[in-house]
Amino acid sequence: MCSIYVINIGANTNHRSRARSPIFDDGSFVYVSFHADQNEMHRTSYPQEMLPFTSKHKQNLKTHNDPNWKKLTYGDYCSKPRARALKDIEHGDILLFWGLLWRNSGNSWEDFVSPLKKRWYLLGALRVEDIIKGRKKVTEVHPHGRQRAQQNIHFSSGVLPDEEYVFLGAQKYSQRFSKAIDLGVDDSNGLVYKAFTSADGNLLRFKGKPRWSSSLRICRKMWDLSDSKQRELAECVRDEIRKYNKDFDLLNDARY
């Protein structure tokens, strides 16, 4: 049966002096991947659409650009505690991505509003149609997904390193949202408190423990759709996404 995993992506608070993902007044946004230092194995230059939202005072910034929204792929180091749960992902499971966005009134780094204003949002989803595991060469990937897989940053050397996974999203059921969905972390009635749970399965509580951020920071299976109660929570999230992205149904054709 289908399960939904939540994954934190993009430039976070500790990257704010170098890169920020902007959100605009109409709810649209630009995804900006996090800054990658020299210790990062998979690094590349920022793509053109992200460059306006990187600091002009930082030279030659590199990034770990993942997910690849154009090709609908996502990769991760699944040997690390943060992503270890992703080893359990099966075909048909859903990856639901969330991240930090900063209010921007224009189209550049200089247009981030002052004082800086940030909130956390749902950004997009992938329905897994193929799973590629470590030590696999691009040439060993099935031709159906090879061209997409090889453009994921984890295949930067042509070989997927040990303990790294790349997930390919079904194009019919996957997308970067056109409008971001506010998790409402500062609102007792926010979505994060209506539908997201801690590791013990209880709903997160506003200003309670564990904090929402500690429960979502690591990659986690959040909802198992074969469980009716968990499915109700996932449907709450589905409905909130559809308010702002009417062409996308998170649970469309999902296996219950």
Token pair in block for residue 183: 């998790």
Q: With a cut of 70, which residues of the chain have pLDDT below it?
A: none
Cα first-last separation, the chain: 6
Pair of tokens at residue 175:
């997308």
- How far is Cα 246 from Cα 163, in angstroms, rounded to an integer? 37
Task: Judge whether 149 and 186 are in contact, CB under 8 Å.
Answer: no
Is the Cα torsion angle 43, 99, 14, 76 positive or negative in sign?
A: negative
pLDDT of residue 246: 95
| Cα gap 219→213, rounded to integer Å | 12
Q: Let me know: does 249 contact 189? Beta carbons within 8 Å.
A: no
Q: Give the model's pLDDT for residue 138.
A: 86
| 24-42 pLDDT per residue, tens | 999 999 999 999 887 777 8
Q: Are 15 and 35 in contact (CB under 8 A)?
A: yes
Residue 37's pLDDT is 82
pLDDT score at 56? 85
pLDDT of residue 144: 87
CA distance 256 to 251: 9
- pLDDT of 43: 86
pLDDT at 60: 85
Helix (H, G, I), strand (E, B) or coil at 240: helix
- Which helix (H) or strand (E) element contains residue 146? helix 143-149
Mind listing the pLDDT tens digit for each residue in 135-181? 888 889 888 889 999 999 999 888 999 999 999 999 999 999 999 99
The answer to whether residues 131 and 93 touch, using CB atoms and an 8 Å cutoff, is no
Phi and psi torsions of 136, nearest 5°? -95, 135
Give the HSE-up count for residue 206: Cα atoms under 13 Å, Cβ half-sphere: 11
Q: How far apart are CA 149 and CA 71, in angstroms?
A: 8
Cα–Cα distance between 216 and 202 in angstroms, integer? 13
Residues 6+ apart with CB under 8 A from 48: none
Between CA 91 and CA 168 the distance in angstroms is: 10
